[in-house]
Amino acid sequence: MGDFRLDFQDTATAFADKSNSQLKEKYRLFKMLNSPLLNAIGTSAARFALSIGLPVEGLIKATIFEQFCGGETIEECDPTIDELGDSHIGTILDYSVEGKSTEDDFDRTKEEIIRTIKRAKDDPNIPFAVFKVTGIAPLGTLERLSRKKKLDAKSQAKCERIHRRVNDICEYAYSIGQPVFIDAEDSWIQDAIDRLAVEMMERFNREKPIIFNTIQLYRTDRLQYLKDARRQAKTDGYILAVKLVRGAYMEKERERAAEMGYASPIHSNKAKTDADYNAAIEYCLKHIDEIAFVAGTHNEASTRLLAEKLDEKGIPHNHKHVFFSQLYGMGDNLSYVLAKNDYNVSKYVPYGPVSDAVPYLIRRANENSAAAGQVSRELEMIGRELKRRTLN
């Protein structure tokens, strides 16, 4: 039974809160992102200019930053939170500072993550908070932990500090009843992240879903991981909470596997990834009382599948265990149409100092040019809306 109301081509709904000038600016930016050459020149130029101290931050802030980020501080994100909230779309504040390496930096990032959780408290417009373990932990230690290598005293001390930071964040989230995502990362550090996430879920998800682990379905082993995780949660008496994504590090994963001579952990083609993603959605729905899940996707077919399955099974659109999620600045045709039809929807809204957010923005740009057709689709929809408004 299809849901005839879900018209993901409804550009009037998708861009209802964009003024004509905002829409034109968005079109210009996506046109640039759609050109691999301009994209490559733009991202390497931005990186270079920032590295030698050229004053390009203003330019970056007024263009790509404004499209994909909420601001440089939590307070600067307030208008975006309100604007999305007016369309019944939640905000997930994502402090996107990466690549730090000192213990002081890790502690500062932990405090900022706790501030995002505090900001979300009692605000219906902010359903989730989120953090990356690499924002509060050294990569080398996570890699050693994932390989289950014996730790020397120095690594052991670092490991304890990582554990304390993750625990501080999760304990605070639990104390105010605010759900928080732990993002997925590279496969060679993911095992350590999974173990931390499971430990936190076991402690804090007894009454309701507070801690969410993230499952990347482009990995060949993750559908089975999801099933095993549900059985473990059931045995140990807590609610499994997961965010389902396809995955963002495909090229990097394949290159490293080829370089180091092990089998790539990533599916060999998109169809297999799609099949696992959709199977994961169906599995979560089948166990809706035991699993809270968020479908983090820009894929229209998977989004429609989940929406229609909810109808088919007579599950309310706004069931507290089912959320859809997209990135701020993208997938508006999905987010706004779903919200209009009373589904739970949220957007990831990254924020942070412009220079710190550049790695995130470059990854978005690279991902977008790699994600076959994603930017072309965005561009085509913006073009159609401009035409509808007779602006081009």
pLDDT, the chain, mean? 91
Q: Is residue 235 part of a domain?
A: yes
Domains of the chain: total: 1
Q: How confident is the model at residue 269 (pLDDT cuts 50, 70, 90)?
A: very high
What's the pLDDT at 31?
83
What's the pLDDT at 364?
66
Q: Check if the beta carbon of residue 328 is closer than 8 Å to that of residue 68.
A: yes
Its sign, for the CA torsion 29, 35, 36, 39, is negative
Q: How confident is the model at residue 372 (pLDDT cuts 50, 70, 90)?
A: low
6-25 pLDDT per residue, tens: 999 999 999 999 999 999 99
Q: Is residue 266 part of a domain?
A: yes
Token match 């073009």: residue?
Answer: 383
Helices 20-33 + 354-370 axis angle, to 10: 70
The structure's pTM equals 0.93
97-132 pLDDT per residue, tens: 877 889 999 999 999 999 999 999 999 999 999 999
- Spatial separation of the C-alpha atoms in residues 5 and 14, rounded to whole Å: 14
Is pLDDT of 282 > 80?
yes
Phi/psi at 324 (5° precision): -105, 150
Which residues, other chains included, contact 290 with Cβ-Cβ below 8 Å and sequence gap of 6+? Answer: 230, 233, 234, 239, 240
Q: Is residue 110 part of a domain?
A: yes
Q: Is residue 178 part of a domain?
A: yes
What's the pLDDT at 264?
97
Q: Which domain holds residue 293?
A: 70-371
Q: How confident is the model at residue 2 (pLDDT cuts 50, 70, 90)?
A: very low
Is pLDDT of 3 > 50?
no
Q: Is residue 6 part of a domain?
A: no
Q: Is residue 269 part of a domain?
A: yes
Which residues, other chains included, contact 256 with Cβ-Cβ below 8 Å and sequence gap of 6+? Answer: 186, 188
Q: Is residue 153 part of a domain?
A: yes
Q: Is residue 344 part of a domain?
A: yes
We report the CATH number of the domain holding residue 97 as 3.20.20.220
Across the strands, what pairs with 94?
350
The two three-digit tokens of residue 199, written as one number: 């430990």
